[in-house]
């Protein structure tokens, strides 16, 4: 049986990393209590940076640079696509083909939101590039941690030093948020909106309820 791909999306400060950790721990406990052949295991990964090459690309993408060394919007887009193409072929597809449940921190919807809406590049072009980079691989479930931009920026400020994307202006982040709104409406068949403004525990409970329902559909767990 082919595995399933669960993707977490959201603006900066939405709590994706924390919620992925909570979900991984919950899944490990859940799967330990049942005797099943599938899923064969749980893998957590991310884009960009889910491979050694991807980690190098991630450093280029997130490091603030000035002058001629600063990335253009188009070069940024193509670096994300390069990371994605390598990551899909080397990590995602092998894991899915061996029956794993894969949890990925960001995927194609982030590129539409950040580079399409945030950087205001052509969304149709980005969709085509995403298809090329993924070979048409679409998430089975996308969990969008919806959060007000002001709250996200407040959380980022509390964390300290910001990376290049986080340093973009508030209007950029507002456009990114609108990009996720548009993606959630366009892909309602796989998008589930989670209230990211709640406490970590409350958000984790929402996520677990959604994933539990899908596990029942996918594996009768």
pLDDT at 142: 98
Kindly give the pairing relationship between strand 42-46 and strand 4-9.
Answer: unpaired
CATH, residue 214: 3.40.50.300
Helix ranges, the chain (H): 16-32, 52-62, 73-87, 93-97, 108-111, 123-134, 149-159, 170-186, 200-219
Task: Say what the pTM is.
Answer: 0.95
Q: CA-CA distances (angstroms) from residue 66 to 75, 77, 167, 169?
A: 15, 18, 13, 16
Percent of the chain with pLDDT over 90: 83
Domain count for the chain:
1
Kindly give the pairing relationship between strand 4-9 and strand 191-195.
Answer: unpaired
Q: Give residues with Cβ within 8 angstroms of 80, minimum separation 6.
A: 47, 48, 61, 111, 115
25-80 residue pLDDT tens: 999 999 888 877 789 999 999 999 999 999 999 999 988 876 767 899 999 999 99
pLDDT tops 80 at residue 162: no
pLDDT at 159: 81
Angle ∠(99,194,202) on CA atoms, nearest 5: 100
Summarize the confidence of residues 174-203 as an average pLDDT: 97
Residue 5: strand pairing partners: 102
**What's the domain range around 39?**
4-219
Token couple for 187: 């892909």
Question: CA-CA distance, 106 to 86, in Å (whole number)?
Answer: 15
Q: Please indicate whether residue 167 or residue 129 has the higher confidence score (pLDDT).
A: 129
pLDDT at 32: 87
Judge whether 175 and 120 are in contact, CB under 8 Å.
yes
120-152 residue pLDDT tens: 999 999 999 999 999 999 999 999 999 999 999
């Amino acid at each position: 049986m082919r595995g399933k791909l669960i993707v977490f999306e959201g603006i900066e400060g939405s709590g994706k990393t924390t919620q992925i950790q909570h979900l991984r721990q919950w899944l490990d406990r859940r799967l330990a209590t049942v005797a099943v052949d599938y899923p064969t295991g749980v893998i957590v990964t991310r884009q960009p940076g889910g491979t050694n090459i991807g980690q190098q690309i991630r450093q280029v993408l997130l490091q603030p640079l000035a002058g001629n060394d600063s990335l253009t919007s188009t070069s940024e887009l193509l670096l994300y696509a390069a990371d994605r193409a390598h990551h899909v072929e080397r990590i995602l597809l092998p894991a899915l083909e061996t029956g794993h449940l894969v949890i990925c921190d960001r995927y194609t919807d982030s590129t539409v939101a950040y580079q399409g809406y945030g950087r205001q590049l052509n969304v149709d072009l980005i969709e085509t590039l995403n298809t090329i980079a993924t070979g048409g691989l679409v998430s089975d479930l996308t969990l969008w941690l919806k959060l007000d931009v002001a709250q996200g920026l407040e959380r980022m400020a509390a964390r300290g030093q910001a990376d290049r994307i986080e340093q973009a202006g508030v209007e950029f982040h507002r456009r990114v948020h609108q990009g996720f709104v548009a993606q959630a409406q366009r892909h309602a068949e796989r998008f589930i909106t989670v209230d990211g403004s709640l406490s970590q525990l409350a958000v984790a409970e929402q996520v677990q309820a959604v994933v539990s329902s899908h596990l029942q559909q996918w594996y009768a767990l």
